[in-house]
Amino acid sequence: MSARWIDIIPEAGFEPGDSHFIDIEDLTIALFNLDGEYFAVEDACSHDGSRMLSCGVEAKFTVHGDRLMCPRHGARFCIKTGAALTRPARDPIPTYPTRIEHGQIQVYCEP
């Protein structure tokens, strides 16, 4: 599949502090509303490839401000940039551009 903008969720009702994830083929993307700005990252820890949000752990245990913590080994990532902030992760996680189009939050990705 080629890179394209993909509808994720309607903007209406997606409040600051909310998160949402979606599977697009073999890729799971986590979308966040951080104080009215939208950020999207791949939902896979760069340390071991495990899912962070879509693994069934409630977001309140893994998201703290603009940081995402992997529930398996505690690695932390910046939601805004994807940067690895703590070990055992060393590499960043992929981030994806977002936009609003016709009331839908969209993510640009190549699954």
Q: Residue ranges per domain, the chain?
A: 4-109
Q: Express each pLDDT in 51-80 by its tens digit.
A: 887 666 665 557 888 999 888 888 999 999
**Distance in angstroms (rounded) separating the CA atoms of residues 68 and 87:** 13
Q: At 30, list the tokens.
A: 């986590």
Q: What is the mean pLDDT of residues 18-43?
A: 92
pLDDT at position 79 is 96
Q: What fold does the segment set 4-109 form as a domain?
A: Rieske Iron-sulfur Protein (2.102.10)
- pTM for the whole structure: 0.89
Compute how many other C-beta atoms are within 10 angstroms of the C-beta atom of residue 103: 9
32 contacts 84 by C-beta, under 8 angstroms: no
Q: Express each pLDDT in 33-56 by its tens digit.
A: 999 999 999 999 898 888 887 666
